[in-house]
């Protein structure tokens, strides 16, 4: 392997490495979830007009799938509620990892399904699928996220 190739691999490894301390892990998680929320808003905005804005919805669906794929790395051990750490993530995420993983996996599967439907451009099918996608978000928020005050 040449030096350039080795350097690229080293950079990729550094970029992919999770943040080392819990506060940084929470910051990374919050940023990812905000991007996911923005993509969900773009979907809602894209289906609001009488004519679905297909390209907007397709782009947002891709962002949602990408975020869903990153979610497993957003909740590492030690990044939950603790003194001095501000997070809306409930301790149940780490106390009930199988239940959390199941809810997350349901969202990941629904995100992939939504993206496939969005690719078809079928406005009726897209509109019908959005509430299902939103419900999988709620499945986590209801159990694993503190209510906003």
Domains delineated in the chain: 21-144 (1.20.120.10)
pLDDT at residue number 68: 95
pTM (2 decimals)? Answer: 0.83
Q: For residues 43 and 117, is the Cβ–Cβ distance under 8 A?
A: no
Q: How far apart are CA 12 and CA 59, in angstroms?
A: 25
Q: How far apart are CA 34 and CA 133, in angstroms?
A: 16
> ∠ CA(44), CA(40), CA(94), 5° rounding?
145
pLDDT at residue number 21: 85
H or E element in which residue 111 lies: helix 97-120
10-residue mean pLDDT profile of the chain (149 residues): values are 44 49 92 96 97 97 97 92 89 95 96 98 97 93 86
pLDDT at residue number 19: 54
DSSP string, 11-70: HHHHHHSPPSSHHHHHHHHHHHHHHHHHHHHHHHHHHSSSS--HHHHHHHHHHHHHHHHH
pLDDT at residue number 83: 83
Angle between helices 123-144 and 22-47 (to 10 degrees): 150
Q: How far apart are CA 22 and CA 82, in angstroms?
A: 9
pLDDT at residue number 26: 94
pLDDT at residue number 148: 76
pLDDT at residue number 13: 42
């Amino acid at each position: 392997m040449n030096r350039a190739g080795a350097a690229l691999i080293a950079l990729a490894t550094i970029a992919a490495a999770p943040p080392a301390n819990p506060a940084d892990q929470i910051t990374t998680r919050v940023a990812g979830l905000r991007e996911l929320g923005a993509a969900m808003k773009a979907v809602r905005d894209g289906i609001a007009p009488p004519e679905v804005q297909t390209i907007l919805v397709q782009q947002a669906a891709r962002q949602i799938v990408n975020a869903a794929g990153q979610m497993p790395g957003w909740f590492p051990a030690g990044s939950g509620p603790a003194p001095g750490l501000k997070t809306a993530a409930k301790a149940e995420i780490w106390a009930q990892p199988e239940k959390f993983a199941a809810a997350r996996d349901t969202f990941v599967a629904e995100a992939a399904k939504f993206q496939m439907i969005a690719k078809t451009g079928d406005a009726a099918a897209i509109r019908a699928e959005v509430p299902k996608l939103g419900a999988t978000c709620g499945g986590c928020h209801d159990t694993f996220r503190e209510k906003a005050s």
